[in-house]
């Protein structure tokens, strides 16, 4: 049994280790965690940069990987307390982003300013317990290669943004976006897609290519068969 498993399976040791790494009720680890421990567990590849002002709520028990030539810009926050953060190569995490794992971001992505990507949700279901004291839930967020996420976007837990897709500024993404699409708004809706045959970006007419069923009646009256297959209508 590895060290991590041993700590995880013994609740007393787990609590002690946790308290050594982080003061009670806080999200930020003690100073020595980033300075002395994390470098042995986390990987920053060649020419990858995390700017000095970035707040690093990073813990050795989860992954933090920053690929070759990727940059996390100033005033951003990285938090892997409840899930891994894995960022590919040549990706730019813009100024003042907040990334809370589990989050996986591919290669060559651009995240503009003030983007919030959180794979964590607070449990709220029990009305008798303060939300603050309910268990958190996690669902990984995946941003595939070559995406551009506009300024002030929020991405909800469990969402996948497909390769080379664009999310317009100010959008809130609550459902997955297929590859080669543009989505905007709150909640984000598809407005354009890349037509492989025409070799151009065309207006999105409600044909969800990944379910191969037309849904021109996207605003209602969608068949049960369609609902069962089409991610946008699940």
Peptide bond into 41 cis (omega under 30): no
Among 21, 22, 61, 170, binds ligand COA (CB under 6 A): 170
Position 184 contacts ligand COA (CB under 6 A): yes
Annotation marks residue 122 as catalytic: yes
Does 206 bind ligand COA (CB under 6 A)? Our answer is: no
Contact with ligand COA (CB under 6 A): which of 22, 191, 213, 222?
191
Cα distances (angstroms) measured from residue 133 to each of 127, 137, 151: 11, 12, 32
Nearer to ligand COA, 147 or 230 (CB): 147
Q: Does 158 bind ligand COA (CB under 6 A)?
A: no
189 touching ligand COA, by CB under 6 A: no
173 contributes a contact to ligand COA by CB under 6 A? no
Residue 179 CA to residue 193 CA, distance in Å, equals 8
DSSP state of 157: T
Asked if 120 is part of the footprint of ligand COA (rule: CB under 6 A), the reply reads no
Give me the catalytic one of 18, 42, 122, 164: 122
Question: By CB under 6 A, how many residues form the interface with ligand COA?
Answer: 14
Range 168-173 contact pairs with CB under 8 angstroms and sequence separation of 24 or more: 169/112
SS3 content of the chain, % helix, strand, coil (to 5): 15, 30, 55
């Amino acid at each position: 049994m590895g060290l991590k498993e041993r700590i995880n399976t013994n609740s007393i040791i787990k609590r002690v280790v946790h308290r050594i790494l982080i003061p009670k009720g806080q999200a930020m680890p003690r100073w020595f965690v980033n300075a002395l421990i994390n470098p042995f567990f986390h990987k920053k590849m060649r020419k990858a940069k995390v700017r000095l002002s970035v707040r690093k709520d990073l813990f050795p028990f989860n992954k933090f990987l920053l690929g070759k030539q990727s940059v996390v810009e100033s005033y951003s926050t990285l938090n892997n307390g409840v899930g891994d953060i894995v960022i590919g190569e040549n990706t730019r995490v813009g100024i003042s982003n907040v990334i809370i794992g589990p989050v996986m971001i591919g290669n060559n992505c651009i995240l503009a300013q003030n983007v919030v990507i959180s794979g964590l949700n607070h449990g709220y279901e029990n009305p008798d317990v303060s939300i603050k004291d309910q268990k958190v839930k996690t669902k990984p967020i995946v941003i595939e290669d070559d995406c551009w996420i506009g300024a002030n976007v929020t991405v909800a837990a469990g969402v996948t943004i497909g390769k080379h897709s664009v999310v317009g500024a100010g959008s809130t993404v609550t459902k997955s976006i297929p590859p080669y699409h543009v989505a905007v708004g709150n909640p984000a809706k598809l407005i354009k897609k890349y037509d492989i045959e025409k070799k151009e970006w065309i207006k999105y007419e409600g044909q969800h290519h990944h379910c191969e069923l037309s849904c021109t009646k996207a605003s209602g009256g969608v068949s049960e068969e369609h609902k069962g297959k089409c991610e946008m209508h699940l």
